[in-house]
Amino acid sequence: MQQTLSALVIHDIKNSLALLEADLEQLNHRADAPDEARKAYQRCIELKNRLICFLTLYKHEHAGLKPNISEVELFEFLEDLVAGSQSAMLASRHGHAIEVCVADLGIRIAPEVRRKGVASLDEYLVDLALESALNNAVRYAASKVDIWFEQDADRLTFFVLDDGPRPTRTGNAAQEASPGKPASTGLGLSLCKAVTEAHGGGSVALADAPGGGALFTMAFDIAG
């Protein structure tokens, strides 16, 4: 009974948050929207993302995430991810614009991959994980965030690179946020790990990028 009640309450909160977000979205479309409206919108999105992230992790720990696998065209998928990313949108509304793009040049597909540029994934879960990685990246980036993938015969890896401070200097996921920016909860990396586990395993890491900045990698052990 208690579980049913909790499920109902959470469902209700999630729906109400979505409606609040839609209202704030509309408000922000107006040319005369005050700065507070933008902040409220941003807070609402953060809150919704945290709730979804929490719910996904809760499900992973209690019932196990069951991925709904479909064929995903990887380039289109990343393109849509960036085009529809709220983190990317909010980044462009901050004081200084941060450019988020799919880095064509980074994409590498090994010759032995049978289905080039296509993978069997749960689009929704991977989108959720990468959106959380993007959200983290735009929060620290100085001006630019790049996203791309590499496909090998037995592994698919996504990369998110930002030109912000190196994570080792600031202390990985628990790094201090810049003043005025919301602090990270650390839920993001756990979510990404849960998503790779749900797909049968892989690895997630946040490390210093070779040329400076932070490089996030999420690898899936899946055949290509």
Question: Which residues contact other proteins (rule: CB under 8 A)?
Answer: 11, 14-15, 17-19, 21-23, 25-26, 29, 45, 48, 68, 70-71, 73, 75-76, 79-80, 82-86, 89, 102, 104, 107, 109, 115-118, 120, 124
Minimum distance of other proteins from residue 114's CB (angstroms): 9
Minimum distance of other proteins from residue 162's CB (angstroms): 19
Contacts of 56 (CB under 8 A, 6+ apart): 65, 125, 128, 191, 194, 195
Q: Which is nearer to other proteins, 1 or 105 (CB)?
A: 105
Q: Which is nearer to other proteins, 87 or 136 (CB)?
A: 87
Taking the CA atoms of residue 223, residue 122, residue 59 and residue 217 in that order, the dihedral angle to the nearest 10 degrees is: 60
Evaluate whether 119 touches 78 at the Cβ level (below 8 Å).
no
Tokens of 188: 């993001």
Q: Which is nearer to other proteins, 44 or 206 (CB)?
A: 44
Evaluate whether 147 touches 160 at the Cβ level (below 8 Å).
yes
Tokens of 198: 């749900």
Q: Which is nearer to other proteins, 43 or 116 (CB)?
A: 116
Minimum distance of other proteins from residue 83's CB (angstroms): 4
Helices 35-62, 2-29: axis angle to 10 degrees equals 150
With residue 130 as reference, give the H or E element that holds it: helix 123-140
Q: Which is nearer to other proteins, 197 or 208 (CB)?
A: 197
Minimum distance of other proteins from residue 65's CB (angstroms): 11
Minimum distance of other proteins from residue 212's CB (angstroms): 26
